[in-house]
């Protein structure tokens, strides 16, 4: 089956061969777009977070076959530079596995809230697990990114 998707600003054609294939698998294994990470395939970790028609979702739980003509933004196309720079500057990246998903969630949060409080940040990032940083530096990075974007 052939599908047309709009991914990170490009028109892309994907071939899939079973109805239950996830968008995460299509992005990574069929299209070589490995920005979105696979760390659980059960919606728990958020490392596969992408924007589907603007909303953050776990790509591992979306059947690709339902995405004909829809807009997908991964870490490559969803994240403004100040957000990426703040993560680096604040030490919010250690092993980096959670980072692409977190960046997408943060980009979504900052598009809605230009000066989020700590509780708002924790709520928005509740679906993104990080085993390295202890989260404090990630929260610092969100405040920095918010300031730099204003």
Ligand X SMILES: Cc1cc2nc3c(=O)[nH]c(=O)nc-3n(C[C@H](O)[C@H](O)[C@H](O)COP(=O)(O)OP(=O)(O)OC[C@H]3O[C@@H](n4cnc5c(N)ncnc54)[C@H](O)[C@@H]3O)c2cc1C
Q: Which residues bind ligand FES (CB under 6 A)?
A: 38-41, 43-48, 58, 60, 93-98, 130-133
Q: Which of 18, 19, 34, 44 binds ligand X (CB under 6 A)?
A: 44
Cβ 135 to other proteins shortest distance, Å: 12
How many residues sit close enough to other proteins to count as binding (CB under 8 A)? 32
Q: What is the 8-class DSSP label of residue 39?
A: S
Indicate the SS3 state at residue 56.
strand
Contacts with ligand X: how many residues (CB under 6 A)? Answer: 3
- State how far Cα 25 lies from the chain centre: 14
Minimum CB distance to other proteins smaller for 81 or for 131:
131
Which residue, among 24, 26, 25, has the nearest Cα to 2 in the 3D structure? 26
Decide if residue 11 touches ligand X (CB under 6 A).
no
Residue 125: exposure state from Cβ atoms within 10 A (0-12, 13-18, ≥19): buried
């Amino acid at each position: 089956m052939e599908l047309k998707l709009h991914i990170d600003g490009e028109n892309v054609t994907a071939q899939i061969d079973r109805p239950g294939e996830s968008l995460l698998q299509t992005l990574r294994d069929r299209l070589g777009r490995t920005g979105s990470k696979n760390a659980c395939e059960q919606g728990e970790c958020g490392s596969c977070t992408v924007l589907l028609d603007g909303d953050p979702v776990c790509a591992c739980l979306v059947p690709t076959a339902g995405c004909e003509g829809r807009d997908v933004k991964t870490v490559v196309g969803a994240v403004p530079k100040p957000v990426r720079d703040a993560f680096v500057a604040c030490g919010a990246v250690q092993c980096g596995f959670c980072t692409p998903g977190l960046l997408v969630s943060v980009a979504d949060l900052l598009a809605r809230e230009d000066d989020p409080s700590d509780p708002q940040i924790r709520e928005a990032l509740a679906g993104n697990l990080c085993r390295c940083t202890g989260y404090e530096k990630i929260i610092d990075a969100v405040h920095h990114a918010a300031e730099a974007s204003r």
